[in-house]
Amino acid sequence: MRRFIEFVVRFKNYIALSALVVMSFSFMSFGSLSQLGGFRAVIVGSIGWIQSLFAWVPNPVALKAENTALRELNLQLSIESSRFRQAMVQNQTLRKMLELPELTEDRLIATDVIGKTTTELRNYATINRGIEDGVREGMACVTDAGLVGLVIGASPHYAVVQLLLNRDTRVAAKVYRSAVDGMIQWEGEMQLSLKNVPKTFDVQVGDLVVTSNYSLKYPANMVIGTVTDVRDETNSLFQRILVTPAVNFGTLEQMYVIDHIPDPERVALEDSIQRTLKERRTER
């Protein structure tokens, strides 16, 4: 029934015309012209009055088409609005990242994050630059906010970055205000830990933590984060210091790779010593 009504509404003009034509021919065949003239006037007037009477009734076919067009337009506007907001955020981020070359003399390779993975408390990010772009294993990665991590593998067009939020992370760091040295590690929470800092050393909440001059893998004075909690460890000579990362890893979309490789001789020596110490602990 609904389809029949839609059919009548869609082709009502043609149906009315056909009925009038049939009626006209019928009257022309069986009546006089004078009578037909008056009758035609009455019919035309009646039809016009009926159409005006029902003109307010909406056409369901036209309404459906109009609603479809409006929904498509609304979707397009929503997509454009989303793209505009994203472009504004990226624009602000890129403007800040343009200030990074002032922090280092090394070449910076701009990259986009195209993937993130987590395996047993080990967080990694995949970037869209690789060996052909100058990215090498061992290069540090930063944003305008601070240190992101370290490149641990690269192919011709892609690379994998070990983020600071990784249980294997070890960064030689210092408190910028007091030059207190320590070791940054991640223990599975949203914050980092500054280890090996004696209780007598001066560390306060709000202190800025940066990479140390003694760091092997990372350039010196790169911002790591801010101290948010300092307390004494029970039955220990060291403090428990929590550091909130300067980088928001949840919204990380772009980063720079610093075109700098640590001294390979020093890297080989320290790695060899680390392996030796680990073997000795295993033997015990």
Predicted confidence (pLDDT) per residue in 64-89, tens digit: 777 777 777 777 777 777 677 666 66
What pLDDT was estimated at residue 282? 76
Percent of the chain at pLDDT > 70 equals 70
What's the chain's average pLDDT? 81
Q: Do 18 and 140 fall into the same domain?
A: no
Euclidean distance between CA atoms 247 and 169, whole angstroms: 15
Element (H, E) at 80: helix 60-97
Query: Considering the entire predicted model, what is its pTM?
Result: 0.62
Residues with Cβ < 8 Å from 85, sequence gap 6 or more?
A: none
3-class SS at 212? coil
> Do 246 and 223 contact (CB within 8 A), yes or no?
yes
More confident residue, 214 or 228: 228
For range 27-42, the mean pLDDT: 58
More confident residue, 147 or 62: 147
**How far from chain centre, in Å, is Cα 110?**
17
Euclidean distance between CA atoms 224 and 278, whole angstroms: 27
Residue 212 sits in which domain range?
101-283
Q: Do 118 and 216 fall into the same domain?
A: yes
Q: What's the structural domain count of the chain?
A: 2
Q: Tell me which of 8-22, 251-265, 270-284 is least confident.
A: 8-22
Say which amino acid occupies 222.
M
* Residue 220 belongs to some domain of the structure: yes
CATH of the domain at 123: 2.40.10.340
More confident residue, 36 or 200: 200
User: DSSP for 118-134?
Assistant: ESSSEEEEEES--GGGT
Q: Do 150 and 241 fall into the same domain?
A: yes
Q: Do 143 and 276 fall into the same domain?
A: yes
181: pLDDT strictly greater than 70? yes
Say which amino acid occupies 220.
A
What band does 40 get if pLDDT is binned at 50, 70 and 90?
low
* Residue 80 belongs to some domain of the structure: no
Q: Do 128 and 250 fall into the same domain?
A: yes
Structure tokens at 36: 């037909």
Q: Do 42 and 106 fall into the same domain?
A: no
* Residue 246 belongs to some domain of the structure: yes
Ramachandran assignment for 58, one of left (phi > 0), alpha (psi -120 to 50 degrees), beta (any other): beta
Euclidean distance between CA atoms 16 and 234, whole angstroms: 95
> Do 201 and 216 contact (CB within 8 A), yes or no?
no
Burial category of 262 from C-beta neighbours within 10 Å (exposed 0-12, middle 13-18, buried 19 and up):
middle
* Residue 64 belongs to some domain of the structure: no
What pLDDT was estimated at residue 38? 61
Q: Do 124 and 43 fall into the same domain?
A: no
Placement of tokens 């009477």 in the chain: 53
Q: Do 150 and 260 fall into the same domain?
A: yes
Percent of the chain at pLDDT > 90 equals 38
280: pLDDT strictly greater than 60? yes
Per-residue model confidence as pLDDT tens digits over 249-269: 988 988 999 988 877 787 788
49: pLDDT strictly greater than 70? no
* Residue 158 belongs to some domain of the structure: yes
1: pLDDT strictly greater than 70? no
What pLDDT was estimated at residue 185? 94
For residue 231, give Cα distances in angstroms to 45, 91, 193, 203: 95, 40, 12, 10
> Do 113 and 254 contact (CB within 8 A), yes or no?
yes
> Do 224 and 210 contact (CB within 8 A), yes or no?
yes
Q: Do 49 and 106 fall into the same domain?
A: no
Q: Do 41 and 115 fall into the same domain?
A: no
